[in-house]
Amino acid sequence: MLIFKLLHIWSMFAAVTLLVGEALFYARAIWRADVAGLAAVRRLVGGRPVIGAALLVAGIVFGLLAALTGGFDLLAGWLLAAYALIAALFAVNGSPWVQRLPRLGLEAMEAEAGQRPVDDVVRAMAGTRTAVLVVVTLNVALFAAIVLDMVVKPL
Protein backbone atom coordinates (compact mmCIF):
# COMPACT_ATOMS: atom_id res chain seq x y z
CA MET A 1 0.00 0.00 0.00
CA LEU A 2 2.71 2.48 0.93
CA ILE A 3 4.62 1.86 -2.31
CA PHE A 4 1.50 2.63 -4.36
CA LYS A 5 0.93 5.82 -2.37
CA LEU A 6 4.54 6.86 -2.94
CA LEU A 7 4.34 6.08 -6.67
CA HIS A 8 1.02 7.95 -6.86
CA ILE A 9 2.50 11.07 -5.25
CA TRP A 10 5.69 10.92 -7.33
CA SER A 11 3.83 10.36 -10.61
CA MET A 12 1.35 13.14 -9.94
CA PHE A 13 4.03 15.58 -8.83
CA ALA A 14 5.99 14.92 -12.03
CA ALA A 15 2.85 15.08 -14.21
CA VAL A 16 1.70 18.39 -12.73
CA THR A 17 5.18 19.85 -13.11
CA LEU A 18 5.42 18.90 -16.78
CA LEU A 19 1.81 19.61 -17.79
CA VAL A 20 1.39 22.91 -15.97
CA GLY A 21 4.89 23.99 -17.01
CA GLU A 22 4.07 23.33 -20.64
CA ALA A 23 0.78 25.21 -20.40
CA LEU A 24 2.44 28.20 -18.72
CA PHE A 25 5.20 28.36 -21.33
CA TYR A 26 2.67 28.19 -24.19
CA ALA A 27 0.55 30.87 -22.52
CA ARG A 28 3.52 33.15 -21.87
CA ALA A 29 4.73 32.95 -25.47
CA ILE A 30 1.24 33.56 -26.84
CA TRP A 31 0.55 36.42 -24.43
CA ARG A 32 3.78 38.14 -25.50
CA ALA A 33 3.18 37.34 -29.22
CA ASP A 34 6.62 35.74 -29.13
CA VAL A 35 6.79 33.59 -32.25
CA ALA A 36 10.33 32.38 -31.54
CA GLY A 37 9.37 31.54 -27.95
CA LEU A 38 6.30 29.63 -29.11
CA ALA A 39 8.38 27.71 -31.63
CA ALA A 40 10.91 26.89 -28.89
CA VAL A 41 8.16 25.55 -26.60
CA ARG A 42 6.82 23.39 -29.44
CA ARG A 43 10.30 22.05 -30.21
CA LEU A 44 10.92 21.19 -26.55
CA VAL A 45 7.52 19.69 -25.79
CA GLY A 46 6.91 18.04 -29.13
CA GLY A 47 3.50 17.54 -30.68
CA ARG A 48 1.89 16.17 -27.54
CA PRO A 49 2.90 16.10 -23.87
CA VAL A 50 3.38 12.32 -23.95
CA ILE A 51 5.56 12.04 -20.84
CA GLY A 52 3.35 14.33 -18.73
CA ALA A 53 0.18 12.57 -19.86
CA ALA A 54 1.71 9.13 -19.24
CA LEU A 55 2.75 10.20 -15.74
CA LEU A 56 -0.77 11.53 -15.08
CA VAL A 57 -2.35 8.22 -16.12
CA ALA A 58 0.25 6.30 -14.07
CA GLY A 59 -0.55 8.53 -11.10
CA ILE A 60 -4.25 7.76 -11.45
CA VAL A 61 -3.56 4.02 -11.62
CA PHE A 62 -1.21 4.15 -8.62
CA GLY A 63 -3.79 6.20 -6.72
CA LEU A 64 -6.47 3.61 -7.38
CA LEU A 65 -4.09 0.82 -6.36
CA ALA A 66 -3.20 2.73 -3.17
CA ALA A 67 -6.90 3.14 -2.39
CA LEU A 68 -7.70 -0.52 -3.10
CA THR A 69 -4.77 -1.91 -1.09
CA GLY A 70 -5.06 0.67 1.68
CA GLY A 71 -8.64 -0.02 2.63
CA PHE A 72 -10.02 3.29 1.35
CA ASP A 73 -13.70 3.53 0.46
CA LEU A 74 -13.64 4.19 -3.30
CA LEU A 75 -16.98 5.97 -2.93
CA ALA A 76 -15.83 8.34 -0.18
CA GLY A 77 -16.82 11.91 -0.88
CA TRP A 78 -13.26 13.19 -1.31
CA LEU A 79 -12.53 10.44 -3.84
CA LEU A 80 -15.74 11.18 -5.74
CA ALA A 81 -14.66 14.82 -5.83
CA ALA A 82 -11.24 13.72 -7.14
CA TYR A 83 -12.88 11.65 -9.90
CA ALA A 84 -14.99 14.64 -10.94
CA LEU A 85 -11.98 16.98 -10.90
CA ILE A 86 -9.93 14.55 -13.01
CA ALA A 87 -12.82 14.25 -15.48
CA ALA A 88 -12.99 18.05 -15.68
CA LEU A 89 -9.22 18.17 -16.21
CA PHE A 90 -9.48 15.75 -19.14
CA ALA A 91 -12.41 17.74 -20.57
CA VAL A 92 -10.52 21.04 -20.42
CA ASN A 93 -7.43 19.50 -21.99
CA GLY A 94 -9.49 17.84 -24.71
CA SER A 95 -11.02 21.19 -25.62
CA PRO A 96 -10.33 22.74 -29.02
CA TRP A 97 -8.43 25.63 -27.39
CA VAL A 98 -5.88 23.33 -25.77
CA GLN A 99 -5.69 21.08 -28.82
CA ARG A 100 -4.88 24.16 -30.92
CA LEU A 101 -1.67 24.90 -28.99
CA PRO A 102 0.62 22.29 -30.62
CA ARG A 103 -0.63 23.28 -34.09
CA LEU A 104 -0.02 26.94 -33.31
CA GLY A 105 3.45 26.01 -32.08
CA LEU A 106 4.10 24.17 -35.35
CA GLU A 107 2.99 27.25 -37.29
CA ALA A 108 5.48 29.28 -35.25
CA MET A 109 8.23 26.82 -36.18
CA GLU A 110 7.24 27.14 -39.84
CA ALA A 111 7.34 30.94 -39.55
CA GLU A 112 10.82 30.76 -38.05
CA ALA A 113 11.90 28.61 -40.99
CA GLY A 114 10.44 31.13 -43.46
CA GLN A 115 7.69 28.75 -44.62
CA ARG A 116 4.85 30.89 -43.26
CA PRO A 117 4.42 34.64 -42.73
CA VAL A 118 5.25 35.64 -39.15
CA ASP A 119 2.35 38.11 -39.17
CA ASP A 120 -0.11 35.25 -39.74
CA VAL A 121 1.18 33.48 -36.64
CA VAL A 122 1.08 36.68 -34.59
CA ARG A 123 -2.55 37.20 -35.64
CA ALA A 124 -3.40 33.60 -34.73
CA MET A 125 -1.73 34.05 -31.36
CA ALA A 126 -3.71 37.24 -30.72
CA GLY A 127 -6.91 35.41 -31.64
CA THR A 128 -6.32 32.69 -29.06
CA ARG A 129 -4.91 34.84 -26.26
CA THR A 130 -8.05 35.01 -24.11
CA ALA A 131 -8.99 31.36 -24.61
CA VAL A 132 -5.47 30.24 -23.69
CA LEU A 133 -5.54 32.37 -20.55
CA VAL A 134 -8.87 30.81 -19.55
CA VAL A 135 -7.82 27.20 -20.14
CA VAL A 136 -4.43 27.63 -18.46
CA THR A 137 -6.14 29.22 -15.45
CA LEU A 138 -8.65 26.35 -15.38
CA ASN A 139 -5.82 23.81 -15.59
CA VAL A 140 -3.93 25.37 -12.70
CA ALA A 141 -7.13 25.71 -10.65
CA LEU A 142 -8.13 22.09 -11.29
CA PHE A 143 -4.71 20.75 -10.37
CA ALA A 144 -4.71 22.91 -7.23
CA ALA A 145 -8.20 21.66 -6.33
CA ILE A 146 -7.10 18.04 -6.81
CA VAL A 147 -4.07 18.54 -4.55
CA LEU A 148 -6.24 20.27 -1.94
CA ASP A 149 -8.79 17.46 -2.12
CA MET A 150 -6.08 14.81 -1.70
CA VAL A 151 -4.48 16.57 1.27
CA VAL A 152 -7.55 17.80 3.14
CA LYS A 153 -9.99 14.96 2.25
CA PRO A 154 -12.89 17.29 3.10
CA LEU A 155 -15.93 15.05 2.58
pTM of the model: 0.87
Check residue 1 and give its pLDDT: 81
Could you write out the DSSP letters of every residue in 70-109? TT--TT-HHHHHHHHHHHHHHHHHTSHHHHHHHHHHHHHH
pLDDT less than 70: residues of the chain: 155
Check residue 47 and give its pLDDT: 84
Check residue 66 and give its pLDDT: 95
Decide: 109 and 43 in contact? Cβ < 8 Å. yes
Find the Cα–Cα–Cα–Cα dihedral 105, 109, 110, 113, rounded to 10°: 170
Check residue 46 and give its pLDDT: 87
In the chain, domain spans: 2-152
